Structure 1
Amino acid sequence: MNLLIADDHTLFIEGLSMLVSRIEDVHIVGDAKNGKQVIELCQSQKVDLILMDLEMPEMGGIEATEIIKRDFPNIKIVAVTMLNDYNTIKKALRSGMDGYVVKNLGISELQNAIETVMNGHIYMSPEITTILALGVAGRKPNQAYVPDLTKREKEVIKLIIDGLTNDTIAEKLFLSPLTVSTHRKNVLSKLNLKNTAMLVKYCGDYPEILF
């Protein structure tokens, strides 16, 4: 099966590619940084499944999905995003997306999502199913939990986003590398994220957590 990854953050593409590489019979045939590139790749090579971010420059994932489903109806598309509000989920599914998962997913859920949509069914992360059900019922989901990050943790995050290593961050903040590593682990735990790529993407989607 030929798979395409669409996301405007290189670190996240690399992280997702590592997960995909652990799934048998799935081959990554390319990656795209925006919806226009996704469409061009679909036109130039055989693509069976796209893991699609929703917010990308030039053309977002929902608009790209509408075009792809019109021109290549057999291609399956799964949204992989940090966006979890009811209206966005509804728009994504109406555009023709076959699945919707959040970016802190692990290898087992990713594999389950791929198998489900390739068998002709819709797949959604459990929390997305809950939000969708509450929205249909006219009920508001509980407000998303925003973890209380310390001032030091926010400083570390900003330097991580800048691409600095633990050693360099330690020098800048006059800390030991071990302390920086501990802050990094605590931040990932508080945000329920699995790696630095997801942290960078999360902060891009929700920059308010740094202020």
Structure 2
Amino acid sequence: MTGTAMNDLPMKPLTVLLVDDHEGFINAAIRHLRKLQWLEVVGRAGNGLEAIERSEALRPDVVLMDLAMPEMGGLQATRLIKTQDAPPYVVIASHFDDAEHREHALRAGADNFVSKLSYIQEVLPILEQLREQRGHE
């Protein structure tokens, strides 16, 4: 196939698992993300335990993970998700946007960290970059 013919093939959507214990936050994120035709929200989870289970079952490209949740928080869930075969790209989101929380997230294995105060503005460029990288694989 020529390079042009390859580019004409429809790309598989970037798949995302949303993890947050606040239903309103997940619903707002879905409202924004569903506008992106190249992205598909394949699941949602309300805590870290559910996130691990759904990540293993759904095999998303990306997990958008809340930091603080009941039962199991985002840091511990990220550590465990990153041990899965072909683990997803994990973005931790938190209202606590400071160097210490960012450092803890990265040490836990997160690939990126965003503030919940500017969630969509920070998440969209990350997702767009991942989409671009996938297009060139």
Tell me the distance in 2 between the aligned counterparts of 1:72 and 1:99.
Answer: 19
Q: CA separation of 1:65/1:16 partners in 2, compared to 1, >3 Å: closer, same or farther?
A: same
With the length of structure 2 as denominator, give the TM-score of the two structures: 0.79
Is 1:111 the counterpart of 2:124 in the alignment? Answer: yes
**More strand, by proportion:** 2
Identify which of 31, 49, 55 aligns with 1:36.
49
Q: Please, which of 50, 57, 69 is the counterpart of residue 70 of structure 2?
A: 57
**What is the CA–CA distance in structure 1 between the aligned matches of 2:75 and 2:130, rounded to whole Å?**
17
Cα distance in structure 2, aligned partners of 1:117 and 1:96 = 17
Identity of aligned residues (%): 33
Q: How does 1:56-95 map to 2 (within 5 A)?
A: 56-95=69-108
Give the Cα–Cα distance (whole angstroms) in 2 for the partners of residues 47 and 83 of structure 1: 26
The one-letter code matched in structure 1 to 2:107 is R
1:35-184 to structure 2, matched below 5 A, reads 35-105=48-118, 107-117=120-130, 119=133
Q: Which residue of 2 aligns with 1:21?
A: 34
CA RMSD of aligned residues (A): 1.8
| TM-score calculated relative to the size of structure 1 | 0.53
Higher relative contact order, structure no. (Cα contacts within 8 Å, ≥ 6 residues apart): 2
Q: Judge conservation of contact 1:23–1:111 (CA < 8 Å) in 2.
A: no
Work out the number of aligned pairs and report it: 120
Deviations 1:54-85 (A, max 9, x none): 00011100100011111144300111211123
Distance verdict in 2 for CA 1:18–1:88, change over 3 Å: same
Cα distance in structure 1, aligned partners of 2:37 and 2:85: 24
SS in 2 for 1:30: strand
Partner Cα distance (2:124, 2:97) in 1: 21
Deviations 1:130-156 (A, max 9, x none): xxxxxxxxxxxxxxxxxxxxxxxxxxx
Q: Do the aligned residues in 2 keep the contact of 1:38 with 1:64 (CA within 8 Å)?
A: yes
User: Structure 1 residues 86 and 108, CA, compared in 2 at 3 Å: closer, same or farther?
Assistant: closer
- Tell me how far apart the structure 2 counterparts of residues 48 and 106 of structure 1 sit (CA, whole Å): 18
Superposition map of 1:1-20 within 5 A:
1-20=14-33
Q: Secondary structure at the match of 2:26?
A: helix
The 2-side partners of 1:95 and 1:31 are apart by: 21
Which blocks of at least 5 consecutive residues in structure 1 are unaligned? Answer: 121-211
Alignment partners' CA distance in 2, 1:107 and 1:88: 19
How many angstroms apart in 2 are the aligned matches of 1:82 and 1:108? 14
> Which segments of 5 or more consecutive residues in structure 2 lack a partner in the other structure?
1-13
Between Structure 1 and Structure 2, which shows a larger proportion of helix residues? 1
